[in-house]
Amino acid sequence: MDSSKTSRRDVLFSAAASALIGVAARAASPAPVAATAPADAAGAFALPPLPYADNALDPVISAHTIGFHYGKHHKAYVDNLNKAVAGTPFADMGLSQIITSTYGKADQTALYNNAAQAWNHTFYWNSLRKGGGGEPPAALRQKIEADFGSVENCKKELAAAAAGQFGSGWAWLVQDGGKLLVTKTANADSPLIKGQRPLLTIDVWEHAYYLDYQNLRASYVAAVLDKLINWGFAADNLG
Ligand code: MN
């Protein structure tokens, strides 16, 4: 693995968010990369460590689910991203730049999908925490109350977006200009392609919940919102 490239590219989110996924220290001292260095075919992008143990979210999300979701699905997106990016002009871009640069390009679909899924999943793991739910930090709560009326209404909108996403996708709390919005995206799509700033997300692909909840997506989403959602992460992502 070319660790110098990884250091530079792992700056996925804001500094605060990066600290949560443990990359701030590496990002703070990027090593120069030779302009002539060949694209690293294997391991240019790293699978970030989970921000908690694989059983930390149990029983809302079991270690069994995390084992497949992180260890198989997320890993596969990162592995396929590294294959798709090798030898292309996108090899020296950061993830979010790859996402916005490849969106809508018919010949870059695999790269876009895997880059967006790699980004979305790291963001999802950080959107959850053991002992989550409850009340958002004051600065975020005030914004939520201004734009949704109450935290309860915001959670209802998130639950409705998650339930209303037909097929695979994501429910998001985003900042769009000065306002907070709930939105949903299909498949790998990211709010980044709409110029929105993601604050938190809930994965509603079946692989996120089927082992624990079978077809009951609404039960999974309700439990996540009540018991796992990481409002502190969302507050740290405010622009
Ligand atoms: Mn997923």
The domain tally of the chain equals 2
Q: How many CB atoms lie within 10 A of CB 105?
A: 10
Q: What is the CATH number of the domain that holds 15?
A: 1.10.287.990
Q: Identify the sign of the CA torsion 195, 201, 204, 210.
A: positive
Residue after which a domain boundary falls, among 126, 153, 171: 126
Give alpha helix (H) positions in the chain: 3-9, 15-20, 24-27, 63-68, 75-85, 95-102, 109-126, 138-148, 151-164, 210-213, 217-227, 231-236
Q: For residue 238, report the distance from its CA to the centre of ligand 1, in Å.
A: 24
Mean pLDDT computed over every residue of the chain: 86
Half-sphere exposure of 57 (CA within 13 A, CB side): 34
Nearest of 69, 49, 73, 50 to residue 212 by alpha carbon: 69
Choose the weakest-confidence range: 20-29, 160-169, 214-223, 228-237: 20-29
Choose the weakest-confidence range: 6-20, 93-107, 131-145: 6-20
Are residue 68 and residue 14 in the same domain, yes or no? yes
Backbone angles phi, psi at 122, to 5 degrees: -60, -40
Residue after which a domain boundary falls, among 98, 126, 154: 126
Q: For residue 203, report the distance from its CA to the centre of ligand 1, in Å.
A: 6
How confident is the model over 34-50, as a mean pLDDT? 60
Q: What is the pLDDT of residue 101?
A: 95
- Which residues lie at CB < 5 A from ion ligand 1? 203, 205
Nearest of 149, 156, 174, 125 to residue 218 by alpha carbon: 156
Structural domain includes residue 132: no
Structural domain includes residue 10: yes
Q: For residue 72, report the distance from its CA to the centre of ligand 1, in Å.
A: 10
State which residues form the domain around 107.
3-28+61-126
User: Is residue 49 helix, strand or coil?
Assistant: coil
Find residue 79's DSSP bridge partners: none
How confident is the model over 146-165, as a mean pLDDT? 98
pLDDT in tens, 75-98: 999 999 999 999 998 988 999 999
Q: What is the pLDDT of residue 123?
A: 98
Nearest of 187, 177, 188 to residue 115 by alpha carbon: 188
Are residue 230 and residue 143 in the same domain, yes or no? yes
Find residue 203's DSSP bridge partners: 170
Nearest of 25, 80, 71, 17 to residue 49 by alpha carbon: 71
pTM: 0.83
Q: What is the pLDDT of residue 66?
A: 98
